Chains A and B, each alone.
Chain A
């Protein structure tokens, strides 16, 4: 898709986004990549750091209230990045907001998630939301790979329109081990620590 190539090309010129496989190697295994979130460039940066053959099977998760708001953003999200939309605000309390993610995982796709739920200004991630825990419980065989996006909070912090081109590296850590009967809070803190350790 020309739009994907354009987005990847732009991000490479701006921030490089070269991958560093610190604790894991590229693999066809089904994975959930979870990363810190500080800028609009994050999704494309992480996506473009993956080898092309993995990229086609890996779908970023994007907030529907932001990326599905108008026709242009929807086009870029769906055609350029093949995203899965997630509702951050629940209108219908009986519906499971994770349903679209579950469906994607059931189809065999890998996912890119930003468990903080929104962009933060700092270099290190804030507390994680519960979604990752529920997905991990439901799909015990999917590898949970922590990713740290370096420098992107300096490139395009929340509220700025123009990016500043600084070199960003995308660090992939070792897949999170699974601990039986781990509490939600303990799991989320351990996942966050795994990202922090890559910083």
Chain B
């Protein structure tokens, strides 16, 4: 099967799943009586609708090609960083550093992916960003909470720019026997992470009893995690045919991806709480903000990228 066919099977399959979800949500809406249940079903339907939009946006970007895909993720970083910094207390003296993060770091990081300059891409934010951002802040002579402010800004930049940029960075890997199909690998990684999130939500709602981290993330349960992780790993293994992996390798990659996604959700939930918020934003109806959807991706993407690079490229 050529890459084009695989892509159409993939999007067709996802559309079919979403169609089932939309119909199920509609049927649940007819049956539900209690007020509490109504709220859950409304949120579920809002989430499914948002999924339709997200899948269409992703699919169109992939069809348009590499540049469109990179630009789309640059925008994802932009909106994610915007949410992160909105909740982060910064001061007027950080203004230049913040402008640099939005208008220099994001374009350069994604440009480096575009021109396939791997060496600089992999150190640009942690080295140059790390050194330049506090320098700009220090020049304004404002020492109040200096370390806290800069630590928070750097943390936000690392998660929203550096980590998320590892998703489109999959396009620059030269995997033997897989030329021209990297976009499918990108799709695969996102599919595994998001299916894991969705299945954890579903299993948690149905079987969830034992909370994993009641303080940090009250909706995460052991039952939800086990069911979601097993389900997403199986889906990942079953989708081996769009990847350069064997079915067993695909299961392993999917499992690691799911674990990292879980940790990302947990860590960013803790960050969100320490900043005093419940959701990152309101951009994606039913889900919250961009970061509520990208939290698990931001942790899974760099590890997925480096494992693929280490084991599957010469």
Report the Cα distance A66→B86, complex, angstroms.
Answer: 29
A:144-183 near B, CB below 8 Å: 151, 154, 157, 160, 162-167
Closest A residue by C-beta to B91: A154
Report Cα–Cα, A162/B281, bound state, in Å. 23
Q: Known: A18-B282, A162-B103. Contact between A167 and B86, CB under 8 A?
A: yes
Q: Tell me the bound Cα distance from A165 to B82 in angstroms.
A: 6
Question: How distant is the Cα of A151 from the Cα of B95 in the complex, in angstroms?
Answer: 13
A15 to chain B, nearest CB (A): 8
Q: Could you say which residues of chain B place their CB within 8 Å of the CB of A160?
A: 95
Contact A164 B99 (CB under 8 A): yes
A164 touching B85, Cβ below 8 Å: yes
Provide the residues of chain B in CB contact with A163, threshold 8 Å: 99
By secondary structure, the B interface counts as: helix
Rounded to whole Å, the gap between the CB of A24 and the closest CB of chain B is 20
- Interface residue ranges of B94-119 to A (CB < 8 Å): 95, 98-99, 102-103
A121 contacts chain B at the CB level, 8 A cutoff: yes
Residues of A within 8 A of B90 (CB): 154
Q: Which residues of A contact B92 (CB under 8 A)?
A: 121, 154, 157
Cβ-neighbour of B98 out of A16, A18, A121, A164 (below 8 A): A164
B281 touches A164 (CB 8 A): no
Say yes or no: A164 contacts B95, CB within 8 Å. yes
Shortest distance from the beta carbon of B96 to any chain A beta carbon, whole Å: 8
Q: Which residues of A contact B98 (CB under 8 A)?
A: 164
Q: Would you call B83 an interface residue if the criterion is a C-beta within 8 Å of the partner chain's C-beta atoms? A: yes
User: What is the distance, in angstroms, from A156's C-beta to the closest C-beta of chain B?
Assistant: 9
* Binary contact track B269-285/A, C-beta < 8 Å → 1, others 0: 00000000000011000
Bound Cα distance A164, B78 (Å):
11
Residues of chain A from 3 to 54 with CB closer than 8 A to chain B in the complex? 16, 18
Instruction: Output the nearest chain B residue to A15 by Cβ-Cβ distance.
Output: B82
- With both chains docked as a complex, state the minimum distance between the C-beta of B286 and any C-beta of chain A, in angstroms: 16
Q: Once bound together, how far apart are the Cα atoms of A163 and B78, in whole Å?
A: 14
Q: How far is the CB of B71 from chain A (nearest CB, A)?
A: 13
Query: When A154-B90, A162-B103 are in contact, do A167 and B82 touch as well, CB less than 8 Å?
Result: yes
Task: Identify A164's interface contact among B83, B102, B282, CB under 8 A.
Answer: B102
- List of B residues within 8 angstroms of A164 by Cβ: 85, 95, 98-99, 102
Q: How far is the CA of A37 from the CA of B164 in the complex (A)?
A: 35
Q: What's the least CB distance linking B276 to chain A, in Å?
A: 15
Complex CA distance for A151 and B102, rounded to whole angstroms:
17
Residue of A nearest to B92 (CB): A157
For A121, list chain B residues within 8 Å (CB).
92
- The smallest C-beta distance from B14 to any residue of chain A, in angstroms, reads 28
Name which residue of chain A comes closest to B78, CB basis: A165
Asked whether B86 lies within 8 Å of A151 as measured between CB atoms, the reply is yes
Most buried by A among B78, B83, B102: B102
CB distance from B26 to the nearest CB of A (A): 28
- State whether A165 and B102 are in contact (beta carbons under 8 Å apart), knowing that A121-B92, A157-B92, A157-B95 are contacts in the complex: yes
Is B85 a contact of A166 with CB atoms below 8 Å? Answer: yes
- Which B-chain residue is minimally distant from A153 (CB atoms)? B92
Chain B 59-90: CB-based contact to A (< 8 A → 1; otherwise 0):
00000000000000000001000110110001
CA distance A166 to B281 in the complex (A): 11
In the docked arrangement, what's the CA distance between A167 and B98, Å?
14
With A121-B92, A154-B90, A157-B92 as known contacts, state yes or no: A166 contacts B99, CB within 8 Å: no
In whole angstroms, how far apart are the Cα atoms of A165 and B85 in the complex?
9
From B83, B98, B281, name the one whose CB has the most chain A CB atoms within 10 angstroms.
B98
**Partner of B281 from A157, A165, A167 at Cβ < 8 Å:** A167
A184, chain B: closest CB distance, angstroms: 33
Which A residues lie at the B interface, using CB under 8 A?
16, 18, 121, 151, 154, 157, 160, 162-167
5 extra A-B contacts, CB within 8 A, seeds A164-B98, A167-B86: A162-B103, A164-B99, A165-B102, A166-B85, A167-B83
A-B contact pairs, 16 of them (CB 8 A): A16-B82, A18-B282, A154-B90, A154-B92, A157-B95, A162-B99, A164-B95, A164-B98, A164-B99, A164-B102, A165-B78, A166-B82, A167-B82, A167-B83, A167-B86, A167-B281
